[in-house]
């Protein structure tokens, strides 16, 4: 059983991950900004611990609060899922939007890992899961800042493995295609995008400790176009 912190658990992939990890018997600390995920049906008859921490991660004080509560919770698995995404021509980007995308998508994961490093290095079972995007591998129209933030997350994941190896901390960079979440609302092909529940089940399986192998990075794309 692991003690898992999931950021951005109030909907979409975050909620799906929370439910999937709960079904596997883990304890959860769930960060959310506006709404909590409903786990009553999964948690009603279990003896697992589920706690919540609320706040906007753009506020440094909230980041420190999450770290403090996660330390007390004994977190040994960190899932950096919280993200923001705005499609717009770069010429129209204002400074606040640029800072928000870079901060939530790239800086916050770094701060959380830094604050929880000692927890993650205990007992040789630490795991960091960075929920990334194809924007972390490629460029695309209208997503210049988002791509920059996700490329930064990929670079952080790759370099962090060197630091984590001596501490037995695994780092998994999950690069995703578009999923059926609020980020993709309005797309004409929404029904063809990745199902969050199917995605979450797959990620949970990827997180399991293997005897002779380690998964550093995985690319998950949709099947239907």
**pLDDT in the model for residue 40:** 57
Percent of the chain with pLDDT over 70: 95
Query: Taking a C-beta distance cutoff of 8 angstroms, is the pair 124, 168 a contact?
Result: yes
- pLDDT exceeds cutoff 70 at 199: yes
CA-to-CA dists, residue 149 to 107, 134, 137, 209, 211, angstroms: 9, 12, 11, 29, 33
**pLDDT in the model for residue 198:** 97
Average pLDDT over every residue of 160-183? 92
Whole-number Å distance between alpha carbons of 76 and 4: 6
Q: Is 159 exposed, middle or buried (0-12, 13-18, 19+ CB in 10 A)?
A: exposed
Average pLDDT over every residue of 122-138? 92
The interaxial angle of helices 108-120 and 60-73, nearest 10 deg, is: 20
Q: Quote the mean pLDDT of the chain.
A: 92
Average pLDDT over every residue of 126-130? 97
**Architecture of the domain made up of 3-220:** 3-Layer(aba) Sandwich (3.40)
pTM score, two decimals? 0.93
Tens of pLDDT, residues 28-58: 999 999 876 666 556 655 788 999 999 999 9
**pLDDT in the model for residue 3:** 96
**pLDDT in the model for residue 37:** 66
Whole-number Å distance between alpha carbons of 218 and 211: 18
**pLDDT in the model for residue 11:** 87
């Amino acid at each position: 059983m692991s003690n898992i912190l999931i950021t951005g658990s109030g909907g979409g992939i975050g909620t799906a991950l929370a439910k999937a990890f709960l079904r596997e018997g883990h304890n959860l600390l769930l960060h959310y900004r506006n709404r909590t995920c409903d786990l009553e049906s999964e948690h009603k008859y279990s003896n697992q611990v589920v706690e919540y921490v609320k706040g906007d991660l753009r506020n440094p004080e909230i980041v420190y609060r999450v770290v403090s509560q996660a330390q007390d919770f004994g977190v040994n698995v960190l899932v950096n899922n919280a993200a923001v995404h705005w499609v717009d021509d770069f010429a129209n980007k204002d400074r606040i939007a640029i800072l928000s995308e870079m901060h939530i998508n790239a800086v916050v994961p770094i701060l959380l890992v830094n604050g929880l490093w000692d927890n993650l290095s205990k007992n040789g079972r630490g795991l960091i899961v960075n929920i990334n995007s194809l924007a972390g591998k490629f460029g695309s129209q209208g997503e210049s800042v988002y791509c920059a933030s996700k490329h930064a997350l990929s670079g952080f994941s790759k370099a962090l493995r060197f630091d984590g190896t001596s501490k037995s901390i695994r780092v998994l960079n999950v690069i995703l295609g578009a999923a059926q979440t609020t980020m993709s609302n309005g797309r004409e092909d929404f029904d063809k995008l990745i199902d969050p529940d199917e995605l979450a089940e797959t990620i949970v399986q990827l997180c399991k400790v293997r005897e002779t192998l380690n998964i550093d990075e995985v690319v998950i794309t949709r099947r239907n176009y």
